[in-house]
Structure 1
Amino acid sequence: MSITLDLRQAVIHKIQGHSKTELREMIDGSVDGPETALPGLGAVFEIIWKDLDPAKKDNVVTMLHEHLKSSAPGPTTSGI
């Protein structure tokens, strides 16, 4: 019998039981890290997003919008 985990389940399974310090280290190590870490960060962000109240979601969106507005576009290698 084979058990198949989707990405979300795999990320949650991998980080369950981690201390706050370990979670912070995982996030810090993934930010600006290899692109292979991006799906995991997305799954972690999804967990956080689902627990935010609407005002905090607005704050996150505002922070992202301001950052994107003030950031000069850089070269992309993905063609996006």
Structure 2
Amino acid sequence: MDLNLREAILSNIASNNQDQLEATIVDAVQSGEEKMLPGLGVLFELIWEHADEQDKHHMLEALEQGVKQATAR
């Protein structure tokens, strides 16, 4: 069986509105379950691909700060 995880994730969220997408993200982050990481990766990939350079810079700043805080624990 050939499973394309990216396509499966996109298919599952294809009809979601902003509130549903936010709920998906919040649930995935709050649950802390490893199985949610691929889905978050696909969502981040979509965000990154559609972001302009300024948005990417802001995301990278936020990511850098998050990594520093997470590793300081």
Q: TM-score, with normalisation over the residues of structure 1?
A: 0.77
- Alpha-carbon distance in structure 2 between the residues aligned to 1:36 and 1:50: 23
Provide the aligned length of Structure 1 versus Structure 2: 71
Matched-pair identity in %: 32
Match of 1:23 in 2: 21
Query: Given residue 56 of structure 1, which amino acid in structure 2 is its aligned partner?
Result: D
Q: TM-score, with normalisation over the residues of structure 2?
A: 0.84
Aligned-CA RMSD value: 1.6
Gaps of 5+ in 2: none
Q: Give the deviation of 1:41 after TM superposition.
A: 0.5
Structure 1 consecutive aligned stretches of length 4 or more whose deviation exceeds 4 Å: none
Q: Give the deviation of 1:69 after TM superposition.
A: 2.3
Quick check: which one's helix share is greater?
Answer: 2
- Alpha-carbon distance in structure 2 between the residues aligned to 1:69 and 1:41: 20
- Alpha-carbon distance in structure 1 between the residues aligned to 2:18 and 2:57: 25
1:53-68 correspondence runs (5 A) = 53-68=52-67
